[in-house]
Amino acid sequence: MTAPGFSASHLARAYDAVVVRTQRAQIRGLLGAREGEAVADLGCGPGHLAGELALDVGPRGRVVALDREPGMVEAATVRLTGDRSRTVLADVTALPVADQQLDRAVAVQVLEYVPDVERALSEVRRVLKPGGTAVLVDTDWRSAVWHTDDRDRTDAVLRAWEGHFKHPQLPVLMPGLARSAGFTSVDVVALPMVETQTGADTYSMGMAAAIAHFVGRTEPVLATGWREDVKEQSRRGQYFFSLTRFATIVRR
């Protein structure tokens, strides 16, 4: 199950933010999908990236957009064009794809939720053609910088938020895990995002709401106070947010 605050429509709004659109373009660049290729978006969520990848591979190519949540698959189906592309309800640890079928695979903000990352990596390697590439993007939440008056409270909230993930610092483990899974080429690229203003169309204010919701289930006073502190920075014109995701680029 996706945690509360992360419905397909919530994610769809967050992923329209400028910083996320910019990062999606970077990820597409790192993946480098070409016309006619077979590509999978693993844990596709509402399908923004899958829809764009379908344009990259064109009518002769195909995209498999896969997620374990029916609501996400439904939302992604609307964004996915191309007769040869399809959405699938499935888990990244059991890919419904035959061996060595894909030129490329991408998983953005997915493996950090998966208990058995080793199994998922082994599946990704299995379905890639020899020489195929996968781009695996996750956040190290220790990279979060959120300017507030009460730094200790912010640290406490972000530590509590780490409970939302199976692996809140997965990127630092990924190179080792990828090599153990048999990938020969492993590179890492940092993908920072920065917002200095708030608004309905920003990523970080949507995240602040989701974090306050998650943390507030067990520590309501902490969560409410922190969210007010974040909003106060915005009112004063002193808002600052930064977070770094890391793309682990592996080749079979």
Question: Considering only CA atoms, which of 227, 244, 243, 242 is closest in space to residue 148?
Answer: 227
List residues bridging with 102 in a β-sheet.
128
Toward ligand SAM, which CB reaches closer, 36 or 192? 192
**Residue 33: partners with Cβ closer than 8 Å, 6 or more residues away:** 39, 53, 56, 57, 61, 103, 104
Which two three-digit tokens encode residue 34? 């070409």
Judge whether 48 and 12 are in contact, CB under 8 Å: yes
CA–CA distance, 250 with 188 (Å, rounded to integer): 9
| Local structure of 43: helix, strand or coil | coil
- The residue whose Cβ lies closest to ligand SAM is 45
Judge whether 196 and 239 are in contact, CB under 8 Å: yes
- Residue 237 Cβ vs ligand SAM, minimum distance, rounded to whole Å: 30
Residues that bind ligand SAM (CB under 6 A): 2, 11, 15, 43-45, 48-49, 67-69, 72, 91-93, 108-110, 113-114
- Residue 93 Cβ vs ligand SAM, minimum distance, rounded to whole Å: 6
- Residue 67 Cβ vs ligand SAM, minimum distance, rounded to whole Å: 5
Distance, CA of 240 to chain centre:
21
Toward ligand SAM, which CB reaches closer, 43 or 61? 43
The total of other beta-carbon atoms located within 10 Å of residue 72's CB is 25
Toward ligand SAM, which CB reaches closer, 91 or 219? 91
CA–CA distance, 85 with 61 (Å, rounded to integer): 8
- Residue 230 Cβ vs ligand SAM, minimum distance, rounded to whole Å: 21
- Residue 229 Cβ vs ligand SAM, minimum distance, rounded to whole Å: 25
Question: Considering only CA atoms, which of 41, 70, 68 is closest in space to residue 54?
Answer: 41
- Residue 129 Cβ vs ligand SAM, minimum distance, rounded to whole Å: 22
Judge whether 248 and 178 are in contact, CB under 8 Å: yes
How many residues does the structure list for the chain? 252
- Residue 203 Cβ vs ligand SAM, minimum distance, rounded to whole Å: 11
